[in-house]
Each structure stands twice: as structure tokens, then as C-alpha cells.
Amino acid sequence: MKARLHLCLQRPDGTVLDERHASNTVMVSGAQLIADLFAGAGSAITHMGVGTNAEDPDDVEVTALSNVAVDDSPPLQGSTLGPIAPDSFTTTVIRERRVVQVRVRATLPSDAAVGMVREAGLVSEGVSGTVLYNRVVFAPIDKRDDHELTLFWEVEFPYGELQWLT
């Protein structure tokens, strides 16, 4: 499985102010979420979130995005979690690469997550409570109360003979 994030900070008129690109890390809780779906339990990805923690993006034990002061930056103001509408997901089979690609697009409005954003993730809010699927850490981005923050995720699930993984 492979995933990428494209983050776009913009004014409400669409003017792009800043961008980030990063690869993601699937958390233990995210792998458990997928395993639970196999067993008919768990729930789908329903939200995206942002936070302030810029520490080790490969720490797979992280279970929640952080919203605390970091150095001289105060915690984020406003909601740090935004719902993802079902029609924000598109799924495509890319046969030549032998992957099923899921694309997700979601935007936090101007009054949400105001401050220095350093991390993002996809979240499931459902049967098992709040579950962090993945986490991405990137260079800080200064979101103000007149900015929208749009996150574009591409998640790829390989198919076919996967013995090369062992």
C-alpha cells in the first residue's frame, strides 16, 4: 500500500498561497481498521484531520493527531477535524500498475485549524470510536482565519501476486 498527500493552502477566491507534498505512514490503528473491515466490523474513513506534531512520521504507534503548543506556536484554533463527504472519494483500477487507487479530497474552512499546521491524517469515526488510519508530517504551514486548507490524498492498494512483500 502506498499513499501520497498534496496539501493546498488558499484564499477563498482560490488563490494558492502554499503547498506541500508528502508520503504517508499507516498507523497500527489504521491497519487494524482495515483488518476489522475484513471481519465485517469497523467503519469507513469519514474525516480528515490536522495537528501540530512534527515528530517522527514513521512512529506507527501514534493513535491521534496532536493539538498542543509547539515551540512559540500555540495550539490550533477551531476544529481540527473535518468530515469527508461520500462523493469526495473516487476509486480507479489502474491495471498497468496493478493497483486500485482511491482519491480523496476534503477542505477545512477558514475558521478551522487556524495556526501552524504540521501533520495530517485520515480518520474513521464510527463503530470503533475515532481511529487514525494514517499520518503525514510536513514542513509547517501557517493557516490563518482567511485561508482554506484542502488536502488531496491518493491511496494505492496493490493486487495480484503479492509474495514479493514477504
The per-residue pLDDT for 163 is 58
Count of domains for the chain:
1
Instruction: Give pLDDT, residue 164.
Output: 55
DSSP lists the bridge partners of residue 23 as 4
Q: Check residue 56 and give its pLDDT.
A: 81
pLDDT tens digit at each of 166 positions of the chain:
678 999 999 998 989 999 999 998 999 999 999 999 889 887 899 999 999 998 887 889 999 999 999 999 999 999 999 999 999 999 999 999 999 999 999 999 999 999 999 999 999 998 778 999 999 999 999 999 999 999 999 999 988 886 555 5
Give pLDDT, residue 127. Answer: 74
- Residue 87: Cβ within 10 Å count: 7
Domain that holds residue 52: 2-165
Q: Give the pLDDT score at 136.
A: 94
